[in-house]
Structure 1
Amino acid sequence: MLKTCLLLVALMSSVVAAKSLEIQIASDYNPSVSEEPADLATVLLLKVRSQLKGRLTLEFIPASRLREWRELETHPNICLYNKVKTPEREAVAVFVEYPLMAFPANRLILRGQKLPSNVSLKDVVVSKGLRIGVTKGRSYGKVIDGFIEKYADSFIIGEGANSAFRLREMLVQGKLDGIIEYTSVFLNHHAKPEQREGVTFHKIDDAKATIFGYIACADSTQGRKAVSLFELALENKQLQKNIIDAHKGLFFEQEMFFIEQGLNEAYNIQP
Structure 2
Amino acid sequence: MIKKIFGCLVAILFLFQIAYAENKVINWYHANFPPGFIEIGSMKNDGYENYLERLIRDNLSDYSHSYRTANYSRILEQIRTTNACCVALLRNSEREKYIEYSLPTMIALSNGIFIESERIDEFKPFIDEYGYISIKDLFHNSEFNMGVSKGRIYGGAIDEILNKYHDSMKIHIRSGDDVLRGLVEMMKEGRKIDYVIGYPHEINWLNYIRMLEGDLSFMSIKFIPIKEMPKYVISQIGCSKNEWGKKVIRRINKLLGGKYIQEYKERYQRFLPPEAIKIHERYIDEVFPISNTH
Q: TM-score, normalised by structure 1?
A: 0.71
Q: Please, which runs of 5 or more residues in structure 2 have no aligned partner? A: 1-19, 31-36, 38-43
Q: How far apart are residue 80 of structure 1 and its match?
A: 1.7
- State how far apart, in whole Å, the 2-side matches of 1:125 and 1:269 are: 38
1:44 corresponds to 2:60:
no
Determine which of 121, 138, 143 is the counterpart of 1:124: 138
Q: How far apart are residue 172 of structure 1 and its match?
A: 1.0
Counterpart of 2:115 in structure 1 is 110
Cα deviation digits, residues 84-119 of structure 1 (max 9, x gap) = 3345433331221312x4444322112324223310
- State how far apart, in whole Å, the 1-side matches of 2:47 and 2:276 are: 19
Q: 1:144 to 1:51 in 2, by over 3 A?
A: same
Q: 1:39 to 1:58 in 2, by over 3 A?
A: farther
CA contact (8 A) 1:209 1:258 kept: no
Q: For structure 1, which segment, 241-250 or 165-174, has the greater mean C-alpha deviation from structure 2 after superposition?
A: 241-250
- State how far apart, in whole Å, the 1-side matches of 2:93 and 2:170 are: 27
Q: How far apart are residue 137 of structure 1 and its match?
A: 1.9
How does 1:90-239 map onto structure 2 within 5 Å?
Answer: 90-99=96-105, 101-111=106-116, 112-114=119-121, 115=124, 116=127, 117-152=131-166, 153=168, 155-161=170-176, 164-175=180-191, 176-187=193-204, 188=206, 192-193=215-216, 196-197=219-220, 199-235=221-257, 237=259
Counterpart of 2:77 in structure 1 is 70
- State how far apart, in whole Å, the 2-side matches of 1:39 and 1:64 are: 16
1:253 corresponds to 2:274:
yes
Three-state SS of the structure 1 residue aligned to 2:190 is: coil
Q: 1:124 to 1:47 in 2, by over 3 A?
A: same
RMSD: 3.5
Determine which of 9, 29, 37 is the counterpart of 1:27: 29
- State how far apart, in whole Å, the 1-side matches of 2:103 and 2:201 are: 27
- State how far apart, in whole Å, the 2-side matches of 1:83 and 1:246 are: 18
Q: 1:251 to 1:209 in 2, by over 3 A?
A: same
Q: 1:43 to 1:166 in 2, by over 3 A?
A: closer
Structure 1 residue identity aligned to 2:229: A
Counterpart of 1:4 in structure 2 is none
Structure 2 residue identity aligned to 1:74: T
Percent identity among equivalent residues?
Answer: 19
Q: Please, which runs of 5 or more residues in structure 1 have no aligned partner? A: 1-18, 30-35
Three-state SS of the structure 2 residue aligned to 1:161 is: coil
Q: 1:37 to 1:200 in 2, by over 3 A?
A: closer
- State how far apart, in whole Å, the 2-side matches of 1:37 and 1:164 are: 21
